[in-house]
Amino acid sequence: MTRSVERRMVRDVGRRARISAVWAVTLMLNGCLSRQEGAGGPTYTVRGVALAGPVCPVETTASSECDPRPVAGSVEFLQLDRQVGVATLDVDGRFSLPLRPGSYTLHVRPTTSPFPVCPDTEVVVADTTSAEVRIDCDTGIR
């Protein structure tokens, strides 16, 4: 074998070793990232709507003009009095947020003050399903 052929073989072996090392590191990092994702556990979506009513004084007849109206603002998700997420209420008063299973307190922060007044609402996210919630806020109209 000539020296040029030997050098080429050595270069090829070195190149193959570098490529193998890159693949090994890539596969290892992918495995670590997957484990980190799985370590936090699955999330399930909490969906809901915040509506304010009554909107008409002394409602006597059924009328769409007097239906509860969507609340503008945001919903804070609290767990053990610590904020774990915030969702913005859309134009229909709807919100959603992915969360891990557990018990949460939902606190609506309307953009207007002091009304509507929204009660804190408890929701439990099970480890098998998402949760739906409706928050009925009081406009103060009587």
pLDDT digits (tens, 9 = 90+) for 24-34: 333 333 332 22
**H and E: helices and strands count for the chain:** 1, 8
Where b means 16+ CB within 10 Å and e means fewer, 13-27 reads: eeeeeeeeeeeeeee
8 A C-beta contact, residue 14 and residue 93: no
Question: Residue 12, SS3?
Answer: helix
Instruction: Choose which CATH entry (1.20.120.1200, 2.60.40.10, 2.40.30.10, 2.60.40.650) describes domain 44-138.
Output: 2.60.40.10
Task: Please write the tens of the pLDDT for every residue from 86-139.
Answer: 999 999 999 999 999 999 999 999 998 889 999 999 999 998 888 999 999 999
Q: How far apart are the first and last CA of the chain?
A: 101
The residue whose two tokens read 């998700």 is 77
